[in-house]
Amino acid sequence: MGQQQLLLIVLSVIIVGIAVVVGIQTFGTSAAASNQEAVINDLMNMAARAQQYYVKPTGMGGGGNQFDGLGLEHMSPVATGTSEYSNENGTFTIATAGSGDAVTLQGVGSYKDKDGNVCQVQMAIGPNSITNTTITKVAAGE
């Protein structure tokens, strides 16, 4: 009976070990997906503010039906005259400066997966449209 109990204990330890490894991998995948969704959400909010800038008359501090002159300070209350805006979700920049009726924003996530990669999202914004143009994994720091 002692050997049978020892075998059950060893088998239980192996099963628990496998469950822990699967749980850690699932958490890592979930955290990366969550960060990517948060970056997209932040970019959507910034895109909506960019469209507000587009339709606002120039006399009221807007673009007067143009994206020319659009800066991060128009899309985020805390970014003032900087070339990038960061929060807990990632770092955001204007990838392609506003010209007439188009602007492209970029967000790079803050969560690094097990390979050291982060998500990168680019969003093309027009007067009446918002489009995710790329969602990729890139090495952190690129």
The total of other beta-carbon atoms located within 10 Å of residue 46's CB is 23
**Segment 52-104, tens digit of pLDDT:** 999 999 888 888 999 888 888 888 766 666 778 889 999 999 988 877 889 99
Estimate to the nearest angstrom the gap between the alpha carbon of 21 and the chain centroid.
27
Of the candidates 59, 48, 72, the one whose C-alpha atom is nearest the C-alpha of residue 125 is 48
Amino acid at 141: G
86 burial (CB, 10 Å; 0-12 / 13-18 / 19+) is: middle
List, for residues 103-134, the tens digit of each pLDDT value: 999 999 999 887 888 899 999 999 888 888 77
**CB-CB contact of 87 with 42 (8 Å):** yes
Judged by DSSP in three states, 57 sits in coil
What's this model's pTM, rounded to 2 decimal places?
Answer: 0.76
In one-letter notation, the amino acid at residue 5 is: Q
